[in-house]
Amino acid sequence: MTTATAFFHKFDRHADGKGLKGATTHYCPGCGHGLIHKYIAETIADFGIQDRAIAVSPVGCAVFLYYYMDMGNTQAAHGRAPAVAIGHKMANPNSIVISYQGDGDLASIGLAEIIHAAQLGLPISVIFVNNAIYGMTGGQMAPTTLVGQKSATCPAGRGLFEGLPMQVAEIMAQLSGTVFVERTALYDQKTRKRTRKAIEKAITLQMEGRGFGFVEVLSECPTHLKMDPMQAEAWVRDEMTKTFPLGVLKDDDRAPWFEMKPPEFDPERVAELVGATSVAPERYCTEFPEHLAPEDVSLKLAGAGGDGAQTAAMLVTNAAINEGFDATHIPSYGPESRGGTSYADVHVAKDEVLSPASPSPNILIAFNAPSLAKFGPTVHTGGTIIYDSSVISEVPEFATDVKVVPVPFTEIAQSLGKVLVKNVVALGALQEATHLLEEDSLLFAVRRSLESKCAMIPINEEAFRWGVKAVKEGVTHFE
């Protein structure tokens, strides 16, 4: 018989350890919690893992688990102990995390957390205390209350209207994430021994990194069952086990798998991962395009989802920032960016973009007729509209001082064998029609964006040159 235990020698957290509370639990006489605490404390002491152990206490009568357990302790919100336990396990994979919950906490309010924690399968140990009644709130119906059992909230006895009792161990056993599931009890020497063994097993599986262990313990709540402790033991044995049969429901032989290396803080590696480079990009612009706007040029690129308006906008933004200007890109996002219309607001500023939206852009690139009709009239005095003349046949009237440039983006892209590059045709056209940056600035950005798809670079370069050429030569249709 072991005497080692991971209990505090004196319970200083229990009413400041004053009086007998320094050496006794807060539980009612005959309550099962004390026994389960004892088996956990003994197991942890026997295994020599007290320094690594963290107990996560629930809301319910066991909320004060941290009074007793001489180990790391975290008190969790109602139902969330397994989620908190996962946070601890990921923070320190070497810690041994015990999540302790009652039936209201685990099987009612916390059902989503326990099922997903179990299915995630990280090696933590969950001890589920099922006493078929709410203890701390004073004897209300639990999800595990038996059919016909009376409680403060089913005074006539639980019936169909209240729903049938939830068999949690069976649910846990069905989940592929768990490795070990057992239901035990405390009503006699044999079941108590099984409980102790099951707790040992769940913790062992955690120590070996094999997975998620779950022990449901049928427990006595003499106070709210309105029985003496002996009667309560008999009730669990004779009544509860009919609905909640004891036994090992699952014991998978899973090889140890859990491993998390210590986080890395190498600055070179971090810089590389976030795409930072100390190599300055080549610059081709000598000055800001003041012929378009003195300090800040605004653009709008609009089309249907899939036209590549966002990609083109990103390329302009990248190119401008590489040139040492400030630039921003706001995409339209959400449902419309996955189908429907898609537009992007871009600004290129000499020093700093102030307002990043483009309610009246200096330049509009329209990939389809609705975009041209919607945004054409908003173009700033003296601005430029470039549109896809392959798909837009009817062009509305615009102010006379707005330059309108039709370019067959789609036809050119089709003739190159890849419709997708029409946005790069548009970029070539943009450059030639406005001289926003330099051709090489945009081509550099195009090449850089295709670093991982080098084979695509030639066709994109060709698309860009065709865009330039089409504007230069006034090509509005392309066979």
Partner 1 sequence: MPKVARPKPVLLPELCKGCGRCIEACPKQCISMGTEINQASGLIPVIIDADVCNGCGLCISACPEPYGLTAAGYELEDPKDLYGHRRPEQEGPVTIPDQRIPLPQCEPLVLKGTYASAIGAILAGCRHVFGYPITPSTEGAELMAKLLPQLHGAFLQAVSEVATVNHMYGCGGAGLPCMTFTSSPGFSLMLEGISYMIGAEVPTVFVNVMRGGPGLGNIGPEQADIKLVCRGLGHGNTHGIVLAPTTPQEMLDLTMEAFQLAFKYRNPVIIAADGYLGQITGRVNLPETMVKPGLPDWAVYGDEEHRHNLINSIYLSEPSLEKHNEHLNAKFSLMTTEEQRSKTYKAEGARILVLSCNTPARMAKGAVEKLRRQDVPVGLFQPVTLWPFPIDHLKTWLAPTSGTDPVTDILVVEASAGQLEDELRLALSHAGIQGVRLHHLRHMGGVLPQEPEVIEAVRNIHSNQPQEVTS
Range 185-244, binding partner 1 (CB under 8 A): 188-189, 192-193, 196, 222, 228-230, 233
Tell which residue, 413, 444, 465, has the closest CA to residue 315: 444
Residues 427, 405: contact at Cβ < 8 Å? no
Q: How far is CA 226 from CA 133, 275, 376, in A?
A: 11, 66, 79
How far is it, in rounded angstroms, from Cα 102 to Cα 446? 59
Angle, CA of 293, 297 and 300, to the nearest 5°: 135
Specify the DSSP class assigned to residue 154: B
Total residues in contact with partner 1, by rule CB under 8 A: 114
Binding mask 317-346 for partner 1 (x = CB under 8 A): xx--x----xxxxxx-xx------------
Q: Residue 33 corresponds to which tokens in the numbers above? A: 């919690």
Smallest distance from partner 1 to CB 66, Å: 5
In the complex, minimum distance from the CB of residue 168 to partner 1, in angstroms, rounded to a whole number: 17
Options 269, 291, 435, 472; binder of partner 1; rule CB under 8 A: 269
Residue 262 amino acid letter: P
d(CA 257, CA 276): 34
Q: Please, what is the minimum distance in Å from the beta carbon of residue 144 to partner 1?
A: 20
**Site residues (CB under 8 A) for partner 1, limited to 409-438:** none
Q: Which of 262, 381, 397, 400 binds partner 1 (CB under 8 A)?
A: 262
| Stretch in the footprint of partner 1 (CB under 8 A) among 163-171, 184-192, 375-383, 387-395 | 184-192
Q: Measured from the CB atom, is 165 or 222 closer to partner 1?
A: 222
Strand bridging mode 341-349 / 296-304 = antiparallel
CB 271 to partner 1: min, Å? 5
Contact pick of 40, 62, 66, 175 for partner 1 (by CB under 8 A): 66
Nearer to partner 1, 330 or 457 (CB): 330
Sign of CA dihedral 415, 417, 421, 427: negative
Looking at beta carbons only, is 155 or 267 nearer to partner 1? 267
Cβ distance 242 to 165 under 8 Å? no
Distance CA 346, CA 296 (A): 10
User: Distance between alpha carbon 385 and the CA centroid of its chain, in Å?
Assistant: 42
Q: Give yes or no for residue 378 binding partner 1 (CB under 8 A).
A: no
CB of 476 to partner 1, least distance (A): 32
Residue 160 CB, shortest distance to partner 1, in Å, is: 29
User: In the structure encoding, which two tokens stand for residue 79, read together?
Assistant: 């139902």
- From the list 2-10, 387-395, 407-415, 468-476, the region that binds partner 1 by CB under 8 A is 2-10
Using CB under 8 A as the binding rule, whether residue 354 contacts partner 1 is answered as yes
Query: How far is it, in rounded angstroms, from Cα 120 to Cα 100?
Result: 18
For the segment 4-43, give every residue that binds partner 1 (CB under 8 A): 5, 7, 10, 12-13, 16-20, 22-25, 27-35, 37-38, 41
For position 273 contacting partner 1 by CB under 8 A, the verdict is: yes
Neighbours of 279 (CB within 10 A): 5
Beta bridge partners of 67: none
Q: Which of 155, 275, 417, 474 binds partner 1 (CB under 8 A)?
A: 275
User: Smallest gap, in angstroms, from Cβ of residue 92 to partner 1?
Assistant: 5
Stretch (H or E) spanning 202: helix 189-207
Judged by CB under 8 A, which of 50, 206, 384, 423 binds partner 1?
50
DSSP track, 394-415: ------TTSEEEEE-HHHHHHH
Residue from the set 61, 68, 411, 463 that interacts with partner 1 by CB under 8 A: 68
